[in-house]
Amino acid sequence: MDVTGKNIIVTGGGNGIGRALAERFAQEGAGHVTVADLDVENAADVADSVGGTAAGVDVGSREAIVDLVQSVERAQGPIDLFASNAGILTPGSIEASVDSWQKIWDVNVMAHVHAAHAVLPGMLERGQGAFLNTCSAAGLLTQIGSAPYSVTKHASVAFAEWLSITYGDRGIQVFALCPQAVNTNMTAGTESGGVAGVDGMLEPGDIAEAVIQGLAAESFLILPHPEVATYFQRKAGDYDRWIKGMRKLNAQFLPEMEKLIGS
Ligand X SMILES: NC(=O)c1ccc[n+]([C@@H]2O[C@H](COP(=O)([O-])OP(=O)(O)OC[C@H]3O[C@@H](n4cnc5c(N)ncnc54)[C@H](O)[C@@H]3O)[C@@H](O)[C@H]2O)c1
Q: Where does this chain bind ligand X (CB under 6 A)? A: 11-12, 14-18, 37-39, 57-60, 85-88, 107, 134, 136, 179, 181-182, 184-187
Calpha distance 124→91 (Å, rounded): 38
**Closest to ligand X by CB, 99 or 169:** 99
Minimum distance, C-beta of residue 194 to ligand X, in the bound complex (Å): 12
Closest to 106 (Cα-Cα) out of 66, 146, 60: 60
Calpha distance 155→157 (Å, rounded): 5
Minimum distance, C-beta of residue 171 to ligand X, in the bound complex (Å): 26
Active site annotation includes 239 = no
**Closest to ligand X by CB, 124 or 161:** 161
CA dihedral sign of residues 118, 122, 124, 128: negative
Helices (H) and strands (E) in the chain, counts: 9, 7
Beta-carbon contacts of 2 under 8 Å, excluding residues fewer than 6 positions away, are 28, 215, 216
**Closest to ligand X by CB, 4 or 97:** 97
Minimum distance, C-beta of residue 164 to ligand X, in the bound complex (Å): 18
Minimum distance, C-beta of residue 179 to ligand X, in the bound complex (Å): 4
Closest to 10 (Cα-Cα) out of 92, 240, 196, 39: 39
**Closest to ligand X by CB, 4 or 102:** 102
Calpha distance 34→158 (Å, rounded): 26
> What Å distances lie between residue 151 and 64, 199, 200, 210, 247, CA to CA?
24, 22, 23, 24, 17
Minimum distance, C-beta of residue 169 to ligand X, in the bound complex (Å): 28
**Closest to ligand X by CB, 123 or 222:** 222
Asked if omega into 127 is within 30° of 0 (cis), the reply is no
Of the residues 149, 167, 231, 239, which is catalytic? 149
**Which residues are the active-site residues?**
149
